[in-house]
Amino acid sequence: MRTLAWLRICAIGGQSAAVLVCAFWMDLGIPMLPLLVGVGSLGVFAVFAAWRVNQPWPVREWETIVHVAVDTLVLGYLLYFTGGASNPFITLLLVPIALSAAALSVPAVLAVAALAGIAYVVLLRWYVPLPMPVHAGSGFSLHVVGMGVNFVITALLLGFFINRLARSVRLQQLEVQRVRERALRDEGILAIATQAAGAAHELNTPLSTMRTLLPELRREHAEDAVLGEDLQLLEDQVERCRTILREMVAFGKAQLSQEPEKVTLAAFIHGCLERFQLLRPEAELDLQLDEDAARIVLRTPPGLRHALLNLLNNAVDASAMNQSHAVMLVARRHGEWLELIVGDHGPGFAATGELSPLGQSQKQTGLGIGLALAEATAERLDGQLTATNTLDGAQMHLRLPLAVVGSNNESA
């Protein structure tokens, strides 16, 4: 429909120019008033079509056929007053058929072709002869010139608009491919989540058993200080595992309730860092939090905290490959976006000619799903997750629109 709208505007300009040239420059005795009425009627319909294209309701195929029929009828009306089928511009009736063949179904193309064919047959029998200019020596040369101009116009129209249609089809195919890949990835994440839920349910029993036995073992071996420290460490680790399982259950309930918590960005960041320090006590974190951004109130979706923790955990692993424990977290506001930047001092991402949005990490450990989970969270929140290499490592940029993650009261 948009292609037809642009084509209709070009047709109005070309038809107006053709009428004026024939009447005033070539001195042809063509009926000016009926021709201008036809061009004006097409202009009114073009205004209506432009309004229709911008409306939210979907465009049906039959509606497209109606628009093509109006264009064909107006063109036939103009050709009727300018020689009918003997006019060299009669082949412009093929343009709607070509455009329909590139975008519509077979029955629709047959309907458009039948309409153009009927118009051509009618113009073979009924038309107003095209008068010759008084100073012309031969009407054949005028016909040849008209055929040449018609050929150029047809070639430009078909080349340009069919290229636009083909480009739109390619973009739609790429979007379908991205949606399919995203669905496959989400299906894999769902399978992992299902397995994780089952594992969490099964792990609760052995963890409870260990939580009961470890204090008894410490009491039985109270005289062995070294063993007592080890048992205390195991008891802390068991308690940590139980905390993780409780958070998994709370995360699932929050997902089902669809009620995100409302906290300031500062509280959210510090809450994540407290959890991160428990998970990776060896990490040396450099936090850079803008004062203005710190007061932003977030409607924190449950997955955002885990996405940030995954990025921080990956950064620590990457820095460790270069014998470093330093990582960086930058939280700032950039226009209508919230940016969370996690930097490391590792070997960076391997670029094969061109760095992909997430590149290929040099990391050798881990399950390999941290980045996938973080990317899925970013896409679900209409955000972006990109990776860039720096002079001494790499950075992950998580950009989220404040319209999605921000509260109505953005600052507190």
Tell me what the pLDDT averaged over the chain comes to. 79
Q: Which amino acid appears at position 71 of this protein?
A: D
pLDDT at 342: 92
pLDDT at 367: 42
Residue with tokens 């113009």: 123
Q: Does residue 321 have a pLDDT over 50?
A: yes
| pLDDT (mean) for 277-292 | 85
Please give the DSSP secondary-structure letter assigned to residue 288.
Answer: E
Residues β-bridged to residue 401: 337
pLDDT at 131: 72
- For 90-141, write each residue's pLDDT tens digit: 888 888 888 788 778 888 889 989 998 999 899 888 888 877 655 545 555 6
Question: Who wins on pLDDT, 164 or 334?
Answer: 334
pLDDT at 327: 92
pTM as predicted: 0.48
pLDDT at 369: 65
| Separation of alpha carbons 188 and 13, rounded Å | 55
pLDDT at 253: 62
Instruction: Give the confidence band of 252 by pLDDT, cuts at 50, 70, 90.
Output: low
pLDDT at 329: 92
337-344 and 296-300 beta bridge pairing: unpaired
pLDDT at 186: 67
Lowest-confidence pick of 83-87, 183-187, 237-241 = 183-187
326-334 and 296-300 beta bridge pairing: unpaired
Nearest alpha-carbon partner for 375 in 394, 362, 393, 356: 356
Q: Does residue 208 have a pLDDT over 70?
A: yes
| pLDDT (mean) for 15-43 | 82
Q: Which two tokens stand for residue 356?
A: 């992909």
Please give the DSSP secondary-structure letter assigned to residue 352.
Answer: B
* Percent over 90 (pLDDT), the chain: 4
Nearest alpha-carbon partner for 311 in 271, 358, 264: 358
Lowest-confidence pick of 7-11, 133-137, 149-153, 356-360 = 356-360
| Separation of alpha carbons 80 and 276, rounded Å | 80
pLDDT at 221: 82
| Separation of alpha carbons 372 and 361, rounded Å | 12
| pLDDT (mean) for 60-71 | 87
The structural domains of the chain, ordered by start, are 1-131 (no CATH), 259-411 (3.30.565.10)
- For 288-302, write each residue's pLDDT tens digit: 888 878 888 887 666
